Amino acid sequence: MSYRDAVTIDDVALTPEPFFVEDGDFYVPNDMTRGPWGAAMGGQIVGGLLGWGIERSGVDADLQPARFTVDLLRPVLLKPVQIRTSVQREGRRIKLVDGTLVQNGKTVARASALFLRRGEHPGGEVWSAPAEMPPLPTSSEGFPADMPFLIWGYGTTTEGSPGIAAGEWEQAHSQKFAWTRVFRPMVQGYPLTPFTRLTFVGDVTSSLTHWGTEGLRYINADYTVTASRLPDGEYIGLAAQSHFGTAGVATGTAILFDQHGPLGTGSAQALGQPAEAFKPRYT
């Protein structure tokens, strides 16, 4: 479906179709989980499900999710998966939880989440580089009703365009930005949480920072998000900060935003790929 023929996302059902449905100890994906690198789940889906599973394992509400890292070990097929979690360390001010996705008896992805206890904030000022985002999107028009999540790209213009890149990233040899809105439940019957949104959106760091004038030529092997606080609201933004690449290996970083301002960072390590390998469903 092209954007010209698209309906607005606000026309979809009040309870959007989730990415997964529980079936005993398994989570059954639908076709929306398919990523742009072949017949496998997208990295944001893999990370989002791992984040959902880690959060569901039981975390004190006074603990801030400070770091979340996903290792994309193998292609995750569009077939049922299991989530396994384990606490690696738990103290008065820190908790470290690992999670794995298991498919056909093999670990296909893993994640590590670091939680730190909130408390009194130190006084004084600490230097940080200034960072700004384009204004929040004012409309969800221009997206197909079956869009997995919403993303607006910015780079060529300050107004932005709906969709992955949408000409904004590929035509601009300049800093790139994205606003995202995750609106579908990760698992049927469970509402979205700020942490799940954050773990989902972290994967966008790779395409945002590694997209060049010849398109997206890198597939990420991992991604990490850090956060000083949880995002407020449905919109999470990313502002590209760096891309360094040598001999087919690249690293990229971005600053993460919500409607109030910066809240953390994203990073992604990636490997060079042929131009024809990237086949997004929506551009």
Residue 3 belongs to some domain of the structure:
no
Rounded mean pLDDT, 240-266: 97
Give domain status of residue 190, yes or no: yes
Which range of residues forms the domain containing residue 50? 14-117+135-276
The residue with tokens 């300050």 is: 158
Does the pLDDT of residue 24 top 70, yes or no?
yes
Flag the least confident range among 125-129, 159-163, 214-218, 247-251: 159-163
**CATH at 245:** 2.40.160.210
Q: Does residue 98 fall inside a structural domain?
A: yes
Of 223, 231, 227, 232, the closest CA to residue 253 belongs to 223
210 belongs to a structural domain: yes
Query: Does 122 reside within a domain?
Result: no
154-175 confidence digits (pLDDT tens)? 987 777 788 766 567 876 678 9
Q: Give residue 155's pLDDT.
A: 86
Residue where the block lists tokens 């993460």 = 256
Neighbours of 152 (CB within 10 A): 26
Question: What token pair was written down for 79?
Answer: 């077939």
Contact 158, 28 (CB under 8 A): no
Average pLDDT over residues 42-58: 96
Cα 80 from Cα 30, distance rounded (Å): 10
* Residue 268 vs residue 175, higher pLDDT: 268
Torsion angle of the four alpha carbons 153, 156, 159, 163, in this order, in degrees rounded to the nearest 10: -30
In a domain, 6, yes or no: no
- pLDDT category at 265 given cuts 50, 70, 90 is very high
* pTM (2 d.p.): 0.92
Instruction: Pick 7 or 81 by higher pLDDT.
Output: 81
Distance CA 232, CA 259 (A): 7
The lowest-confidence range among 172-176, 247-251, 270-274 is 172-176
Centre a 10 Å sphere on the Cβ of residue 74 and count the other Cβ atoms it contains.
Answer: 12
| pLDDT higher at 146 or 239 | 239
For residues 215 and 187, which has the higher predicted lDDT (pLDDT)? 187
At 148, which helix (H) or strand (E)?
none
Does pLDDT of 261 surpass 60?
A: yes
Tell me, yes or no, whether 4 lies in a domain: no
Domain count, the chain: 1
Over residues 41-56, the mean pLDDT reads: 97
Q: Across residues 80-85, what is the average pLDDT? A: 98
pLDDT at res. 139: 83
Average pLDDT, the chain: 90
Residues 6+ apart with CB under 8 A from 281: 34, 36
Q: What is the distance between the alpha carbons of residues 233 and 122, in angstroms, rounded to a whole number?
A: 26
DSSP string for 23-78? ETTEEEE-GGGB-TTSSSB-HHHHHHHHHHHHHHT---TTEEEEEEEEEE-S---S
